[in-house]
Structure 1
Amino acid sequence: MDLIRKMNNVSVLGAAGKMGSGIFVLLSLEMAKLKIGGKEKKEFTLNAIDVSQLALVNLLGYVKSQLLKYAEKNIVELRGWYKDRHDLCDNEEIITEFINEVMTMIQTSTRIETAYNSQLIFEAIKEDKDLKVKLFSQIKQNNPDAWFLTNTSSIPIGEIEKEAQLTGDIIGYHFYNPPVVQKLLEVIKPENINQQLVNLSVDLAGSMRKTVVQSNDVAGFIGNGHFMRDALYALKKAEDLAQTEGWAKAFFLLDTISRDLLVRPMGIFQLLDYVGVDVTRFILESMQASFPDEKLSHDALNKLLDRGIKGGQFADGSQKDGIFKYQKGRIKEVYNLETGKYVKIEGIEMDCAAMMGELPTFKIYWKSVVREKNRTELLENFFEELHKIDSVGANMAIAYGENAKAIGQMLVDTNVAESAADVNTVMETGFFHAYGPINNYF
């Protein structure tokens, strides 16, 4: 596929958002490779489209900072790009020229009409199918040659394609947060698709050095297909425990077990805060229509949102209060659904530790185990001991791991994922788990 021809003019919808800004940076680097690195004489335009002009101004600052990081890290490559520019002598001059050249390709706009001249439309707006269909349909009517790459994490691509009448010119291109750092790219092909678009998406992913996993076009795909059900399981177990121990202890205990005893980077409720309580519920609602036999909701999410507990991040990336309150990224308080107030964890963590009971003497921690070459051996030893312990904590962890495995296998059995390896790759690469859910540990 001729990337140069299709990337002469590109638009990103929702460019100033959390995901859109990262996607925008990646595309600016790809266009730099073509124009500067490839010595292309053609003009390249990258349009940042969003509803807020102020947010777009802030986006430009973020793009510059990321270009500077890239340039400093890849100065040898840049010197090769500018080897014929004898007026550029030192690294600082090359870096400045690089940033300036990339920034001249960028245009900002609050008008959807800006996308009418683009060959490629990348979309990272909120998970609202009706809004996506409206915008895509409007662009397609005014630009029949446009191709769409949507970052939706849950909405079936085929439904968008049909309702927006895109004649096969859309593909799911689901980046993980933050796109600039995350290696995983979940690619979703609807039944009706333009093969040239598929070829372009593969070539572009390769140029961005992404790890590609293809998911079938089923709501939630692989990543949220697993994560959402994993979160619902934790909410159900917390609800059961809250009957005797209260919600604050239930949230804290399940979060601790899912982090420490399953060897994950975050506990399940900290991850839910990171994604956003509101975003989680919206994704579940998006998935529900495709799974009428499942209950993809939980009253606790509704109660949290009714009280303004949303989670998510501030513009600087710091964590907003959600199920937990945070201080410099550390959990300091936990929300009690009964009282509507936060409780300091110092007042409950000893009780939770006592409740968990005996735990493995062979200690491993996610941060260290993921760096170990003998990771599998360490995990085998840890989980072997965990299975031998008869305590509340050990039994809850084993049941949790077995359920995570069952979810993963269900995604394979129902053809959402092509293989167990694909499920494991998504959870290991996209969610940074130390091991995939389909394993021999449970």
Structure 2
Amino acid sequence: MDYTERLKNVSVLGAAGKMGSGILLLTAQELVNQTLKQKSNEQKFVLNAIDVSHNALDGLLKYIRAQAQKFAEKKIVQIREMYADHENLHENSDFIQQYVNDVVDIIKPTTRIEAAYDSKLILEAVSENPELKNKLFKQINTNNDNHPWFFTNTSSIPIQEINNNAGLNGRLMGVHFYNPPAIQKLVELIKAESTLPELAAFAAQYVKNLKKIIVPSADIAGFIGNGHYMRDTKYGIDLATELSKNMPLSQAIATVDVITRDYLVRPMGIFQLADYVGVDVVQYIMKVMHDRNIDKNLHSTLLDRMVKSGIKGGQNSDGSQKDGFFRYEKGRPVAVLEPDKMDYVNLESIQSEMQSYLGDIPAGIVKWKTLLTAADKHQQLTQWFANIQKDNSKGSQLAKAYLQKSKDIGLRLIKDGVAAKDADVNTVLITGFFHAYGPINDFIN
């Protein structure tokens, strides 16, 4: 069965979710590309969008249509080339509308999992729940005579474990898209010990056709991305806990967030990022790694208390940020959690205490956003961290220790065989987490 034949009938599970909708869009676009390349109508493609909610599926099609239009408007030259033999299309608007219609028309929304029984490829993007994944895979595998291949978007659960529990006999591949899939360039490919070689080759071709950056990861819980991020976050929690011996925990949390954002030149502080990912998601992935003996240190009673109190972070349906370690107004953190009371303290009220504790930030500070397009990014970072290394303020001392810890975590991923080389770790953090630089570096000696 060749590449296009495998794509003849595809199903996406969890299609209306945050990850599933992006994966569905990308797959629909790839199917349209394959349709146009074959120059005939012999090969019909079907893309089943499977989810539990009719309302969510209605909203999904609106999302797909809007995103397909944005893509076509941005890539109008490419779209005109794709439809060059369509003599009925003349204006840019004609080409754009034709492309949007083709993307939407290939999608078949349904709440019935039975639609997947005819598919040759199943892409799974349901919640990070191994029992649910196993149940769905088993049901489809039992009722599908095509011996389908399965992609799972899990960000932490070992692929071989899912394969064994669902009885898929090597027909499973980890294809971990980063959020949001339509924008994020990174995909981690995770091949289990039993994954069929032809499935691995197909997955690589599929992701390559989506114009994504591929980084292979060993099949070890957490993989490269969460293998680093979870340990990095746990270090931040432990550091805040240590600092709270001399200050309120709320101030300690805000202080560590400043260190990781401003001093380490990241797009978000470590606690704001946890809010974005979801406090409950961070807690769960740490548990996945902890329970599989990947890292016995990956457990936080602070996260447990927050989740138990209903403080979970994540986003509302309109995309706005829910409260977590911080309370947000118009997308900006305005108050920080005081865990002892499970209440929030205005950030303005503790700014002077934080400034006094951290000391003056060294000269020559660089901003993450300005580095995105800077031709001399490495030079600026080298100078900035040299200034930090020479500075004796508390803020610089904490930053140096955090930077070294982040590097140690990256090197551990190499040592443990999760990543094959330094560049893979750095690519994941730069591309998947939008860091300005990789954790394995020589900025601090």
What letter matches 1:162 in structure 2?
A: N
| 1:418, distance to aligned residue in structure 2 (A) | 0.3
User: Matches of 2:17 and 2:54 in 1, distance apart?
Assistant: 12
2:94 counterpart residue number:
93
CA contact (8 A) 2:159 2:174 kept: yes
What letter matches 1:346 in structure 2?
A: E
Pairing of 1:228-267 with structure 2 (within 5 A): 228-267=230-269
User: Matches of 1:397 and 1:27 in 2, distance apart?
Assistant: 42
| 1:368, distance to aligned residue in structure 2 (A) | 0.6
User: CA deviation digits over 1:146-167, x for unaligned, max 9?
Assistant: 1011100000000011111111
What letter matches 1:103 in structure 2?
A: V
User: Matches of 1:369 and 1:103 in 2, distance apart?
Assistant: 38
Pairing of 1:200-239 with structure 2 (within 5 A): 200-239=202-241
User: Matches of 1:260 and 1:84 in 2, distance apart?
Assistant: 53
Pairing of 1:32-43 with structure 2 (within 5 A): 32-41=32-41, 42-43=43-44
2:396 paired with 1:394: yes
CA contact (8 A) 1:246 1:338 kept: no
SS at match of 2:139: helix
CA contact (8 A) 1:171 1:187 kept: yes
User: Matches of 2:165 and 2:40 in 1, distance apart?
Assistant: 37
Pairing of 1:114-133 with structure 2 (within 5 A): 114-133=115-134
1:173 counterpart residue number:
175
What letter matches 1:275 in structure 2?
A: V
| 1:212, distance to aligned residue in structure 2 (A) | 0.4
2:431 paired with 1:429: yes
User: Matches of 1:8 and 1:34 in 2, distance apart?
Assistant: 10
1:407 counterpart residue number:
409
User: Matches of 2:317 and 2:340 in 1, distance apart?
Assistant: 31
User: CA deviation digits over 1:201-249, x for unaligned, max 9?
Assistant: 1111111111100000000000000000000010011111123211210
SS at match of 1:154: coil
Pairing of 1:30-109 with structure 2 (within 5 A): 30-41=30-41, 42-109=43-110
CA contact (8 A) 2:289 2:295 kept: no
User: Matches of 1:171 and 1:40 in 2, distance apart?
Assistant: 31
2:184 paired with 1:182: yes
User: Matches of 1:391 and 1:75 in 2, distance apart?
Assistant: 53
Shift of the 265–40 alpha-carbon distance from structure 1 to 2, 3 Å rule, reads farther
CA contact (8 A) 1:358 1:394 kept: no
| 1:4, distance to aligned residue in structure 2 (A) | 1.0
CA contact (8 A) 1:121 1:146 kept: yes
| 1:85, distance to aligned residue in structure 2 (A) | 2.5
- Counterpart pick for 2:350 among 348, 351, 372: 348
User: CA deviation digits over 1:26-68, x for unaligned, max 9?
Assistant: 0011011011344342211111111111111111110000110
2:292 counterpart residue number:
290
What letter matches 2:265 in structure 1?
A: V
SS at match of 2:214: strand
| 1:293, distance to aligned residue in structure 2 (A) | 5.6
CA contact (8 A) 1:34 1:40 kept: no
User: Matches of 2:28 and 2:21 in 1, distance apart?
Assistant: 11
CA contact (8 A) 1:140 1:166 kept: yes
Shift of the 293–8 alpha-carbon distance from structure 1 to 2, 3 Å rule, reads closer
SS at match of 1:148: strand
2:25 paired with 1:25: yes
Shift of the 409–247 alpha-carbon distance from structure 1 to 2, 3 Å rule, reads same
What letter matches 1:111 in structure 2?
A: R
Worse overlay, 136-145 or 360-369: 136-145
Worse overlay, 152-161 or 367-376: 367-376
Aligned identity (percent) is 46
User: Matches of 2:39 and 2:310 in 1, distance apart?
Assistant: 52
User: Matches of 2:55 and 2:106 in 1, distance apart?
Assistant: 19
SS at match of 1:11: strand
CA contact (8 A) 2:217 2:419 kept: yes
Worse overlay, 379-388 or 79-88: 79-88
| 1:328, distance to aligned residue in structure 2 (A) | 2.2
Structure 2 unaligned blocks of 5 or more: none
| 1:99, distance to aligned residue in structure 2 (A) | 1.5
| 1:72, distance to aligned residue in structure 2 (A) | 0.7
Q: CA-atom RMSD, angstroms?
A: 1.3
1:280 counterpart residue number:
282
1:15 counterpart residue number:
15
Worse overlay, 44-53 or 292-301: 292-301
What letter matches 1:128 in structure 2?
A: N
SS at match of 1:348: helix
User: Matches of 2:234 and 2:272 in 1, distance apart?
Assistant: 14
CA contact (8 A) 2:221 2:294 kept: no
Pairing of 1:325-344 with structure 2 (within 5 A): 325-344=327-346
1:370 counterpart residue number:
372
CA contact (8 A) 1:152 1:174 kept: yes
CA contact (8 A) 1:71 1:95 kept: yes
Q: How many residues align?
A: 442
User: Matches of 2:78 and 2:354 in 1, distance apart?
Assistant: 53
User: CA deviation digits over 1:346-386, x for unaligned, max 9?
Assistant: 10122111110132111101111232111111111111110
What letter matches 1:267 in structure 2?
A: G
1:199 counterpart residue number:
201
Provide TM-score, normalisation by structure 2: 0.97
User: Matches of 1:217 and 1:211 in 2, distance apart?
Assistant: 19
User: CA deviation digits over 1:304-349, x for unaligned, max 9?
Assistant: 1122111111223221111111222211111111222111111012
What letter matches 1:323 in structure 2?
A: F
